[in-house]
Amino acid sequence: QIQLVESGGGLVQAGDSLTLSCAVSGRASSFYTTAWFRQAPGKEQEFVAASSWSGANTGYSDSVKGRFTISRDNAKNTVYLQMNSLTPEDTAVYYCAAKQVGRTTYMWYAHAGAYEYWGQGTQVTVTS
């Protein structure tokens, strides 16, 4: 199996940028779809962004499209979420997730149930 560990969260001001990292370790192959989800207090878990294993195919929620960028470095077994123009509405615990796929699968998924591996989460707080 694989393990996911998020890092890079913190407290920033509105308009600032922040980059989250998710280190992947374990016995999984390099072929896995990766996503970021977030959950704010009192709210349901929300899809943020996802990437196919190659990084060529990505998708974003409407709330972050144009501001956030998901990327991955498979050689370093790390996935990133670059967040720009942060607002207080972005405050949440951010989780990375992974789904092992076949080599010929170039899909990404916005449904949390599609992912079998999850990190512990990292807190992002944006003040006004």
Tens digits of residue pLDDT in 20-66: 999 998 866 668 899 999 999 999 999 999 999 888 899 999 999 99
The token pair at 54 is 């190659």
Task: Give the chain's radius of gyration (CA, Å).
Answer: 14
Q: Would you give the distance in Å from CA 20 to the centre of its chain?
A: 8
**CB within 8 Å of 75: residues ≥ 6 apart:** none
- Rounded to the nearest integer, the mean pLDDT of the chain is 94
Of 53-57, 85-89, 94-98, give the lowest mean pLDDT range: 53-57
pLDDT digits (tens, 9 = 90+) for 7-22: 999 999 999 999 999 9
User: Across residues 58-77, what is the average pLDDT?
Assistant: 94
Under 8 Å between Cβ of 28 and 1: yes
Tell which residue, 32, 38, 37, 8, has the closest CA to residue 20.
8
